Amino acid sequence: MNASHPLLPSEEWREVFLRRFKNFRKNAVQPTLFAPLPASLGIMPRIRERDHWWAFLTGVPMSEWDAAKKPKPYQKPWRGQYHGYGADALPIPNAEGSSQILSYSLEDGRVFSTSNSEMWRVTTDGVELTSAMNATASLPTPSGTPAPPDRPEDTSDQNAPASIYPEPTPKHMQLLFHGDALHLLMYFTHWIILHLERGSAPSPHVLTDTHSRWIFALLSRVRDDVSADEMSTLRSLARACMSLIEERKRATSNVASSSQGKAVGLFPMNESGCWMIITLVIGIWGQRDLWQDAEAMLRRLPA
């Protein structure tokens, strides 16, 4: 159909954009020889962990959303776990890293030494290290652990943003396949809907231009032949982007500059990015009837 509404993308633009996207998709699937995958790029959430993906896509450090990487609190060993050594015996690590068995009496509470560098105290809970010299004296403490070699100390401005949204890269896309991409696109539709349901209230799911680039890249991983359910996922994504355009235009139509500034902040995802996503769903997967929905959406807007 011809673009009868002036705000719809023109036929000429659509043809050029779709042709370039198809070329991009062909180039993106080409294998890159002798290009090792950086270890940091391999760390992404599991596909079905939706909340972890939102944290990942908004730059939250992995230590905050990956339970396997969270530091575990120290727990004092239960005395009963050493029953194999006898009721009054505990294994004491020595300087070489192995353990020696020490028998003691709980009643005397004495301090004793297991080597020239360690002092231990008998308590009712077991034994505890009271002092260590030489090699152990240089070990980091919980309040002064040095940064690992690959993560230097942060000397940036304390007022700077705590994190940067990760951009989609070819290496990321090589780890995501057809089903993975559709699952993540379904998440983006969900986040857009949650954001729109908040109206003028602050939303925890604010879509940015970085997210629109992720959607673009994920669409390049979706095959041309899709099932009915997968097509429904793509159409829902396109309609969610239409709703985002409509709400943004309604919010920014307020003539009051203060309200306008607030509205732009609520919808930071660029409108052109939304149109690109809509055009891809319609043009690549043949859903041309959605142009009628897009035109109807634009006609509902105030003049």
Last residue of a domain, one of 108, 129, 150: 129
Helix (H, G, I), strand (E, B) or coil at 209: helix
Length of the chain equals: 303
Structural domain contains residue 150: no
Rounded mean pLDDT, 258-284? 75
CA distance linking residue 226 with residue 222, whole number of Å: 8
- The structural domain count of the chain equals 2
Residue spans of beta strands (DSSP E) within 140-255 = none
Residue spans of beta strands (DSSP E) within the chain = 89-93, 99-103, 111-113, 118-123, 126-132
Q: In terms of pTM, does the model score above 0.85?
A: no
- Hey, what are 125's tokens? 């809970």
- Hey, what are 156's tokens? 């940036």
Structural domain contains residue 141: no
CA distance linking residue 157 with residue 133, whole number of Å: 37
Residue 297 and residue 250 in contact, taking contact as beta carbons nearer than 8 Å: no
| 68-69-71-73 Cα dihedral, nearest 10 degrees | 0
Q: Which amino acid is at 240?
A: A
Structural domain contains residue 248: yes
pLDDT tens figures, 82-131: 444 444 444 444 545 444 444 444 444 554 444 444 555 555 555 555 55
Structural domain contains residue 151: no
pLDDT reported for residue 35? 54
Residue appearing with tokens 């690549």:
284
CATH code of the domain in which 17 resides? 1.20.58.1070
How many of the other CB atoms lie within 10 Å of CB of 273? 20
Q: What is the mean pLDDT of the chain?
A: 73
CA distance linking residue 109 with residue 121, whole number of Å: 7
Q: Taken in order 153, 211, 11, 250, is the CA torsion positive or negative?
A: negative
Q: Which amino acid is at 80?
A: G
Is the domain of 216 the same as that of 263? yes
CB neighbour list of residue 51: distance below 8 Å, 6 or more residues apart: 65
pLDDT reported for residue 125? 56
Q: Which strands, in side-by-side order, build the sheet including 118-123?
A: 111-113, 118-123, 126-132
CA distance linking residue 214 with residue 44, whole number of Å: 14
Q: 83: number of CA atoms within 13 Å, CB side?
A: 3
Residue 288 and residue 5 in contact, taking contact as beta carbons nearer than 8 Å: no
Structural domain contains residue 138: no
The DSSP annotation for 62-85 comes to HHHH-GGGSPPPP-PPPGGGGGGG
Is the domain of 106 the same as that of 209? no
Residue 24 and residue 220 in contact, taking contact as beta carbons nearer than 8 Å: yes
pLDDT tens figures, 39-65: 444 578 999 999 999 999 998 888 888
Q: Which amino acid is at 51?
A: D
* More confident call, 219 vs 31: 219
How many of the other CB atoms lie within 10 Å of CB of 15? 11
Is the domain of 49 the same as that of 176? yes
pLDDT tens figures, 186-197: 999 999 999 988
Is the domain of 192 the same as that of 254? yes
Structural domain contains residue 95: no
> For the chain, what is the radius of gyration of the CA atoms?
29
CA distance linking residue 253 with residue 22, whole number of Å: 36
pLDDT reported for residue 170? 86
CB neighbour list of residue 152: distance below 8 Å, 6 or more residues apart: none
Residue 250 and residue 301 in contact, taking contact as beta carbons nearer than 8 Å: yes
- Host domain of residue 122: 100-129
Structural domain contains residue 139: no
